[in-house]
Amino acid sequence: MVPRPTIALLACCLGPGVAHAAALSPADQALVDGLALPLHVATLKNGLRVVVQPDHRAPVLTVHLQVPFGSSRDTGQPGWPDRPGLAHLVEHLLYAGSPRAPDGAYDALLSAVGGENNAWTEPYAMAVHATVPVEAMGLLLALEADRMAGLDADSVTAKIDSERRVVERERAIDLDTPGGLDSAARRALLYPRGQGQHWPVLGTPAAVGQVQVGDILAFQGAAFAPGQSVLVLVGDVDPVAAMDAVADSLGAVPPRPVALPQVLAEPPTLPISGLYLDDVAGTTLYAIYPLPPDAAPERPAADLLADWFGLQRQGCLGRMLQRGRLDRLTAWTEPEPGGGRLVIELDAPRGPARRLVAKLDQAVADLVDHAPDQAELERVRARWRAWAARVQEDPVDRAEILARCVLEDGDAACFPGHVAAHLAVDGPQLSAAARDWLSPQRRALLVVTAPKHAGRGLPDSVLVDLPEQR
């Protein structure tokens, strides 16, 4: 998901001008007001939702197409066999060719006009985006419309083996990197094999090797149906002319009904602890806590807990860093529909994991008992201000944020309120979020260490194994 202080889902977004529990400073209010740029929003007859945001600073255009389909739909769906890694392979093969641009012509045509493009896959979403000179808008929209209508089977057949090899090279990087499979181990601990969320986005080598061309076409056809998709244009365009151009191109793609079951992860049984043995030098502890629902009033404060712990340079954890007893302390959120997770990572050069757990619990207790003062909160808010400013300056990031607002909040204009809600969090709210959401009874703990140091694990741990990834 898009880089930001800690979050990857636009949750609890308020509209511009909505009153907040704590008043923003004049500077923060000016920042939030400056994020509320004009938007033009429409839903076309085929169900495609379109957002246009003019930006006349340079004669370029970014087009971002996002769908709420990701790797969580690799398994358990009626339209294709269970193939962990299918969505990610589809992402690669979106560039294989479409009927009017076969044999990889998409990349070649965009390169010829000086354009650039990329794509990504997450558990619950997939997106493609491209930036071109504004005069190439017609070309780019025509290519996206042709691809949305369906991939060219012959082009997919010609490219599928080479893209499998590309995916395996990505996996090799994870295998060769200490800790490269930690994310997969966390998912394996939290979710049973029957759930799509159990598998990493890259899937497994065996499953990717079994994917057929028909599976690719079926997944792409369902994922990129117009009624599933959100198209965002940010750039040097007239909004009326841009909307007309979209209606003439992607708006002409016939609608495709998609009847697939909703994918929601079963909440893991907590508390739980696991041990994953890997070729690493030290010991890593992951503490994983569920987040409140997206619309819960305490969600902004819960999000900021990740920033708080990621910036800890004082207190018991800060002292461990200063004395070399911790090599790394970081935290982030992994949002999912209905909530998601807060993950706190502590990397230590030596010693049993129980010491790390004790220090983490002490840090949580300190936060509960002593609300952060204004200076401490300012460090967290500074990250949010910097992130909001970067998003505002980068049309690629801004287009993605707008798409997420539509898909996850139902309001393309949610970004300013989202930033304001997080900047408005005060010290007592942060302490209350730690009290309510960082309980030892509501968490998963995963220890990663070398086989020879297996004794560093926690009592009663589940041994996490990832044989499918090797």
Radius of gyration of the chain measured on its C-alpha atoms: 23
Q: How many residues does the chain have?
A: 470
Average pLDDT over residues 262-274: 82
Kindly indicate the confidence band of residue 196, based on its pLDDT and cuts at 50, 70 and 90. confident
| DSSP codes, 104-137 | THHHHHHHHTT-EEEEEE-SS-EEEEEEEEGGGH
* Domain 37-252: CATH class, spelled out: alpha beta
State how far Cα 339 lies from the chain centre.
13
Question: Could you tell me where the DSSP H helices lie in 394-426?
Answer: 395-404, 415-423
Encode burial over 239-258: b for 16+ CB neighbours within 10 A, e otherwise.
beebbebbbebbbebeebeb
Say if residue 19's pLDDT is above 60.
Answer: no
- The confidence score (pLDDT) of residue 22 equals 61
- The confidence score (pLDDT) of residue 76 equals 86
The more confident residue out of 12 and 108 is 108
8 A C-beta contact, residue 327 and residue 349: yes
How far is 307 from 379, CA to CA, in rounded Å?
9
| DSSP codes, 367-389 | HHHS---HHHHHHHHHHHHHHHH
How far is 344 from 40, CA to CA, in rounded Å?
39
* SS3 sequence of 274-305: EEEECCCCCEEEEEEEECCCCCCCCHHHHHHH
**Domain 272-469 sits in CATH 3.90.950.10:** no
How far is 333 from 352, CA to CA, in rounded Å?
25
Beta bridge partners of 230: 49, 66
Say if residue 454's pLDDT is above 60.
Answer: yes
DSSP annotation of 252 reads G
State how far Cα 406 lies from the chain centre.
15
- The confidence score (pLDDT) of residue 265 equals 67
DSSP annotation of 85 reads T
- In a 3-state reduction of DSSP, which class is residue 333? strand
Encode burial over 181-208: b for 16+ CB neighbours within 10 A, e otherwise.
bbbbbbbbbbbeeebbbbbbbbbbbebb
Angle at 387 between CA 126 and CA 2, to 5 degrees: 10
Reported as type and span, the H/E element at residue 33 is: helix 26-35
Kindly indicate the confidence band of residue 457, based on its pLDDT and cuts at 50, 70 and 90. very high
Residues of the chain above pLDDT 90, percent: 82
Per-residue pLDDT tens for 93-133?
999 999 999 999 999 999 999 999 999 999 999 999 999 99
Among all chains, which residue has been given the structure tokens 């712990």?
309
Mean pLDDT of the chain: 91
Hey, what amino acid is at 377? Answer: L
- The confidence score (pLDDT) of residue 21 equals 43
Residues 6+ apart with CB under 8 A from 264: 337, 338
Say if residue 434's pLDDT is above 90.
Answer: yes
Kindly indicate the confidence band of residue 137, based on its pLDDT and cuts at 50, 70 and 90. very high
**Spans of all domains in the chain:** 37-252, 272-469
Kindly indicate the confidence band of residue 203, based on its pLDDT and cuts at 50, 70 and 90. very high
- The confidence score (pLDDT) of residue 5 equals 56
Identical topology for domains 37-252 and 272-469 = yes
Residues of the chain above pLDDT 70, percent: 94
| Short-list 250, 245, 42, CA closest to 135 | 245
- In a 3-state reduction of DSSP, which class is residue 167? helix
Kindly indicate the confidence band of residue 269, based on its pLDDT and cuts at 50, 70 and 90. confident
pTM attached to this predicted model: 0.92
- The confidence score (pLDDT) of residue 470 equals 65
